[in-house]
């Protein structure tokens, strides 16, 4: 059956890889956060001022609260700022490096939809869609695989906290054919339609996405969610907080609470062996929601991010202009991020779903047939600079010292997706078995023979 899946996925891939399919390569550009003009800078309330008044009023704040404010404060948050997009970026993501990334994920989605028996409705739900590039590449694959998808009714659901990015996603996905909701508290705050007529809806929270068979995607989403930090001390686990530096009142510093907090008493595992741990409780809640939805309505989630399997300690860091940036310096002007702990996500997902991975991005993309795709593209490309760009994008995505080993893929699946075929009960002569499930692409080496 492994070979069977290989053939099936290979067939999907070969249609997407068809040399006649338009090949468009993005320049290695970044997700772009340009600085504002000095006038705007002066008029904008300062994030640092906001945080220091908060700390003066309530005392030191947990790292999770600091991260939430800095990234998603509705007025000043890094992701929420109106003028965050422009030519100078802070970091780059795989979907922005090359469209091949989104194409392979599109094939994964179609393969999972087929593995679930091809339900009549397919909701593609993306958490934190950035510029909308990944969704756009996936929808192109859907249109190339129209004959496979048949009459299925596809809809796109985007969970995005940033109004500015939602506008950009609307431009990219609906060619500006979208409308904002009249009232601010509407669960669907924007609606639109793609050029192919697929409905697109925007939500602030996953909770608001309607129930139904869904494939969920989260690419570099979980690493942006707030983490709590805990330090082992002689007196037990203590939470790391952010405080004002008493020596320099316009600077922040980390402190450790003298006594346990609710978070330090509940979020650290009893058998924890590390001396310092980071726990993304918000990510845990989202994974629980994904698991419940998949159990109840079917579907799968594909999570791709940098992370570890419960081994790393201090990974909290900032990025500004592609450089590491002190997480406490000039809050609101740089991206803040922390590695995902896949072992925590697996624990939070519980037994209601099957978990696969993490596998490295290199392994996942190779299993999905990125090498075959490259060969086809190179065979059909004579332009030297395009060839160079193809090769360097491939290298960036798969090279172990670049994104290949740093990023990992992890999946939640409905248990039925992996269920072993049961022997038919009753008559001994009865040899008929339920067909074995298709192996899950990306997590299994495909046979292209």
CA–CA distance, 291 with 390 (Å, rounded to integer): 37
> From CA 142, how far away is CA 16, in angstroms rounded?
9
E strands within 93-167?
Answer: 121-127, 153-159
Tokens representing 331? Answer: 């809050």
Which sign does the torsion angle of CA 338, 342, 344, 346 carry?
Answer: positive
Least distance to ligand SAH, CB of residue 82, Å: 13
Check binding of 129 to ligand SAH (CB under 6 A): yes
Q: Is residue 165 at the binding interface for ligand SAH, with CB under 6 A as the rule?
A: yes
SS3 of residue 356 by DSSP: strand
Taking the complex as a whole, the smallest distance from the CB of residue 47 to ligand SAH amounts, in Å, to: 16
Residue 221 binding ligand SAH, by CB under 6 A: yes
Burial class (CB in 10 A: 0-12, 13-18, 19+), 203: buried
CB atoms under 10 Å from CB of 43, counted, come to 9
Both tokens assigned to 341? 């702990």
Using CB under 6 A as the binding rule, whether residue 160 contacts ligand SAH is answered as yes
Q: Residue number with the shortest CB distance to ligand SAH?
A: 128
Tell me which stretch binds ligand SAH (CB under 6 A): 93-101, 271-279, 293-301, 390-398. 93-101
Instruction: Decide: is 93 part of the binding site for ligand SAH (CB under 6 A).
Output: yes
417 is a site residue for ligand SAH (CB under 6 A):
no
Residues 6+ apart with CB under 8 A from 351: none
Q: Which is nearer to ligand SAH, 16 or 286 (CB)?
A: 286
* E runs forming strands in 26-108: 31-32, 61-62, 89-91
Main-chain phi, psi angles of 446, to 5 degrees: -90, 145
- Could you give phi then psi for residue 448, rounded to 5 degrees? -100, 20
| Binding residue for ligand SAH, selected from 65, 96, 103, 137, defined by CB under 6 A | 96
Is 219 a binding residue for ligand SAH by CB under 6 A? The answer is yes
Among 130, 284, 332, 369, binds ligand SAH (CB under 6 A): 130
Provide, rounded to whole angstroms, the least separation between the CB of residue 68 and ligand SAH.
8
Measured CA to CA, the distance from residue 449 to residue 436 in angstroms comes to 20
Smallest separation (angstroms) from ligand SAH to the CB of 162: 4
Tell which one of 8, 12, 31, 209 touches ligand SAH (CB under 6 A): 31
- Of 16-24, 157-165, 325-333, 353-361, the window that binds ligand SAH (rule: CB under 6 A) is 157-165
> How far is it, in rounded angstroms, from Cα 153 to Cα 142?
11
Helices (H) and strands (E) in the chain — how many of each? Answer: 15, 20
Residue 443 φ then ψ, to 5°: -95, -10
Task: List CB contacts of 183: < 8 A, sequence separation 6 or more.
Answer: none
d(CA 205, CA 161): 8
| CA–CA dist 368, 434 (Å, integer) | 26
Instruction: Name the one range near ligand SAH by CB under 6 A: 39-47, 88-96, 194-202, 364-372.
Output: 88-96
Structural element, H or E, at residue 279:
strand 276-279
Q: Select the residue interacting with ligand SAH from 79, 101, 202, 410 (CB under 6 A).
A: 79
Q: Could you tell me which stretch among 7-15, 56-64, 214-222, 255-263 binds ligand SAH (CB under 6 A)?
A: 214-222
The minimum distance between CB 121 and ligand SAH, in angstroms, equals 24
- Interface with ligand SAH includes 397 (CB under 6 A)? no
For position 113 contacting ligand SAH by CB under 6 A, the verdict is no
Q: Per CB under 6 A, does 128 bind ligand SAH? A: yes
Q: Which of 162, 178, 201, 411 binds ligand SAH (CB under 6 A)?
A: 162
Q: Which of 141, 159, 328, 345 binds ligand SAH (CB under 6 A)?
A: 159
Question: Does position 106 bind ligand SAH by CB under 6 A?
Answer: no
- 239 binds ligand SAH, rule: CB under 6 A: no
Interface ranges with ligand SAH (CB under 6 A): 31, 71-72, 79, 93, 95-96, 128-130, 159-162, 165, 219-221, 224-225
């Amino acid at each position: 059956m492994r070979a069977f899946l290989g053939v099936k996925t290979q067939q999907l891939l070969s249609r997407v890889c068809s040399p006649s399919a338009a090949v468009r390569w993005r320049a290695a550009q970044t997700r772009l956060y340009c600085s504002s003009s000095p006038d705007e800078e002066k008029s904008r309330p300062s994030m640092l001022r906001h945080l220091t008044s908060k700390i003066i009023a309530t005392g030191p704040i947990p790292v999770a609260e600091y991260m939430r404010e800095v990234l998603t404060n509705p007025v000043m948050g890094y992701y929420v700022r109106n003028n965050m997009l422009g030519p100078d970026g802070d970091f780059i993501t795989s979907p922005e490096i090359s469209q091949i990334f989104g194409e392979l994920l599109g094939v994964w989605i179609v393969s999972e939809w087929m593995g679930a028996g091809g339900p009549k409705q397919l909701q593609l739900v993306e958490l934190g869609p950035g510029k909308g590039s990944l969704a756009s590449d996936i929808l192109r694959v859907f249109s190339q695989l129209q004959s496979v998808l048949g009459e299925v009714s596809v809809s796109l659901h985007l969970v995005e906290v940033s109004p500015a990015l939602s506008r950009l996603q609307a431009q990219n996905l609906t060619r500006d054919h979208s409308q904002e909701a009249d009232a601010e508290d509407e669960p669907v705050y924007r609606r639109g339609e793609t050029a192919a007529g697929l409905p697109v809806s925007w939500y602030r929270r996953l909770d608001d996405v309607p129930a139904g068979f869904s494939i969920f995607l989260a690419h570099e989403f979980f690493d942006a969610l707030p983490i709590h930090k805990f330090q082992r001390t002689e007196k037990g686990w203590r939470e790391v907080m952010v405080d004002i530096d008493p020596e320099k009142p316009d600077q922040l510093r980390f402190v450790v609470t003298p006594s346990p907090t609710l978070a330090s008493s509940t979020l650290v595992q009893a058998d924890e062996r590390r001396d310092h741990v980071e726990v993304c409780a918000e990510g845990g809640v989202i994974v629980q929601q994904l698991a419940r939805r998949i159990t109840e309505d079917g579907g799968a989630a594909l999570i791709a991010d940098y992370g570890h399997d419960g081994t790393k300690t201090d990974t909290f860091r900032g990025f500004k202009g592609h450089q590491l940036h002190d997480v406490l310096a000039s809050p609101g002007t740089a991206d803040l991020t922390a590695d995902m702990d896949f072992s925590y996500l697996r624990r939070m997902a519980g037994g209601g779903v099957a978990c696969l991975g993490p596998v490295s991005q290199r392994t996942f993309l190779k299993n999905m047939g990125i090498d075959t795709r490259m060969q086809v593209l190179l065979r059909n490309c004579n332009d030297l600079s395009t060839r160079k760009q193809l090769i360097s994008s491939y290298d960036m995505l798969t090279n172990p010292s670049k994104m290949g080993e740093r990023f990992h893929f992890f999946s939640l699946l409905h248990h039925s997706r992996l269920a072993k075929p049961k022997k038919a009960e009753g008559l001994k002569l009865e040899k008929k078995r339920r067909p074995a499930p298709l192996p899950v692409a990306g997590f299994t080496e495909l046979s292209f023979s």
